[in-house]
Structure formats: structure tokens, C-alpha cells
Amino acid sequence: MNNELELRYGMNPHQKPARVYVNQGALPIQVLHGQPGFINLLDALHGWQLVRELKQSLGLAAAASFKHVSPAGAAVSVPLTETLQQIYFVGAADLSPLATAYARARGADRISAFGDWAALSDVVDVSTARLLQREVSDGVIAPGYEPAALELLRQKKGGGYRVVQIDPDYEPPALEEREVFGVKMAQQRNTAVPTTADFSNIVTQNKNLPDNAKRDMVIALITLKYTQSNSVCYVYDGQTIGVGAGQQSRIHCTRLAGSKADTWFLRQHPRVLALPFREGLGRPLRDNSIDQFLLEQLTPAEEAIWQQNFTTPPIRLTAAEKRAWLDQWRDVTLGSDAFFPFRDSIDRAYQSGVSFVAQPGGSLRDDDVIAACNDYNMVMILTATRLFHH
């Protein structure tokens, strides 16, 4: 029985020795290839819980792209449009449901997902392994791997890619413990799993909550459950499109996640789709070039380097052109891990197409927040369950 695993190092390379272990029974994970580090396993174990709960709640294959113990993206297996196939660099490939979910999770915020840890709800097939093989990624956790898929992943990163298998039936103890600065703390594990059954308390005048919005609310809330707080999450069409993690104020979370959602929409603008990249430019540099294209301006030195990525210098979108494009989008869902203390987050969220809001409620200004939603004809539900995560 294996109850301990030596790690490369802890949070940083100088923090040695490092290990992962359980006090009773066997470890629920097996390392099939590579040697994960401390942060790798933090990402892996949090990511696994996220995708497991998405699959449990929605019955769809799920994927998450994790960076520094927060998701850069999370998604379920909703078919891709032709535009999403283009901006996710998957073309018209025949993707499995699991591969589709990962393409969405990785494509939510491709800048943040660079060097991610992937978490997958189902046995990894060849279709998914091929996507993982070509992305800059540190490792993957899943309940199993088809033999051909595992062989592909063992070849990644010159044979250094980390592949972890987890027992899908493993359930941790009800009490979880943590030690900080020699002080031990314990609490009951957060077993609240958001489902569509939580969405009965609609407090706005508009009470039209379609099934796709309920699905997206589940995605938002489960994603937030495993995002460093404070956090908010924008979801559209079965995937996150903007995650604002670890901010000290709710409005800063909303602005950060909203700017990521805006970038996701703007990546689909015809002018972005037609950018004249020079031949052979890799996906990471294309992602960075698109991100810079959408900035208001670069320094002269940055501009000179940036223009080298194109066959001809592209003309940037104006602020008015961006606003006109963003104003076309609606039916975005906004989730929050705790209540909105002011209406400012709702005002900001509307600028990124939000039509549906899920949050715990409990603020002294709940009435102001509800009134703001009514001003924009949004639908808001109160869950009464806070989802802080640290």
C-alpha cells in the first residue's frame, strides 16, 4: 500500500525535502509519468474536484485549466462553433466530448492558461491527448488513460510531462486539516455541490431563467468553489470566459474577470480572425500578439517587436469599434463567491453582456443590487451559500 510520494520540491526549489502523504489508507493518486511538484499537486487535486463536481451536477464531460491554484478556465462538452474552432486552434478536427471540454477550458483565457495543469473528468482518449500534447502544459490529472493516449503524453516535454491518475471513487475524510506557521487548523470539508436545484430563489422582476443559464450558473459556482477568493466568474455557452481570482474587493474581481470576458469576445471579431500572422508563428506568440492587438497602445519598443509577428502591420480596433462589437453580446452569466456589497459590480457586469447573476446574497445593500439588476432586466438568484476558498 503506497501512502507517501516524494516530490521534486515544495512551493519553491529551495524548499526540500517535500512529500505528499495520507495518514490512513493509500494515496488516491498514482504518478504514471514524470515527477510532480508541490504546486503541481495543489493544482491537480483542486482541479480534479472541480471537474468531478461539474460532471456530477451536469452529467457532461468536464475540464479545467489550472494555474497557481485557481482555474484559468473550466468548461463542459458543449459543441464548438466554427469561430471557436478557429480561435482555439483546433480547426475542424473531430473532437471527443472530453477534448471539446478541454479545448473550451484552455481557450477561456489562453494567456493565463500558458503552462497550465489540466484536470479532466473522464478517461483520457487519444483525441484529448493530442490537444494536450501540442499545448504548453505542465501536467494532467484524470481518472484513467487509454493506452495510446498515455503513450502520446509520455512523449511530451521530452518525456518530462507529468501524468497523474486519481481513483474516481476516492472520498476524503469529512474533516480537513491545515498547518500554517506551526499552527494547526481544522474544519469540515466543503461538501456543498451547486446544482440547478439551488436556483429557486429568483429575486428580480425578470424570472425567466432558461436551462442554458442554469447550466452556466452551475459552471460558475463550482468554478468559484475552487478559485482563490475573493472571486467572480463570467460564463457563456458552457464555459468560463473570465475568472477574477484573489482580489481584495468585489468590484476589482468583477472588473478583472470582465476584462477577460471582453477579450474572449473580441478574439472573435472579424478583424482579429483575419490578423495577418507571419508563417510559422507559434500559438503562444499568436495569443500574445492578439492580446497586444487589443491593447489601446504599446510603447514604441513594444510596437516594433509586436509588428514583427505579422506580414503587414495591422490596424487596431478603435474604442468605438470594440464597444460596438461587445454591445452585441448578451446572455452571459455572472457568479460570485460572496455577496455584492454595492451595485457597482452589476453596472460593470452589464458592460460585458451579463443577463443572469448567481450570488449568495446577505449584503446590507441587497435591495440596491436587486434594483440594479432590474434596471438592466437581469435575472438574479440568491443561493444563500457562500463559496470562499483559500
Catalytic residues: 67-68, 230, 390
Crossing angle for the helix pair 250-266 and 319-326, nearest 10 degrees?
90
CA dist 2 and 144 (Å) reads 18
Residue found under cell 469599434: 321
CB-hemisphere CA count at 13 Å for 23?
A: 5
Q: Are strands 379-382 and 354-359 parallel, antiparallel or unpaired?
A: parallel
81 φ/ψ angles, rounded to the nearest 5 degrees: -75, 170
CA dist 390 and 190 (Å) reads 12
CA dist 302 and 297 (Å) reads 9
| H or E element that contains 304 | helix 300-307
Judging by beta carbons within 10 Å of its beta carbon (0-12, 13-18, 19+), is residue 40 exposed, middle or buried? buried
142 φ/ψ angles, rounded to the nearest 5 degrees: -160, 165
Residue found under cell 446577505: 362
Q: Are 218 and 75 in contact (CB under 8 A)?
A: no
Q: How many residues does the chain have?
A: 390
Q: Are 365 and 250 in contact (CB under 8 A)?
A: no
CA dist 29 and 5 (Å) reads 9
Closest CA to 335 of 151, 199, 208: 199
Within 59-96, where are the H helices? 82-87
CB-hemisphere CA count at 13 Å for 329?
A: 26
CA dist 65 and 77 (Å) reads 14
Within 79-206, where are the H helices? 82-87, 97-107, 126-134, 147-154
CA dist 228 and 235 (Å) reads 17
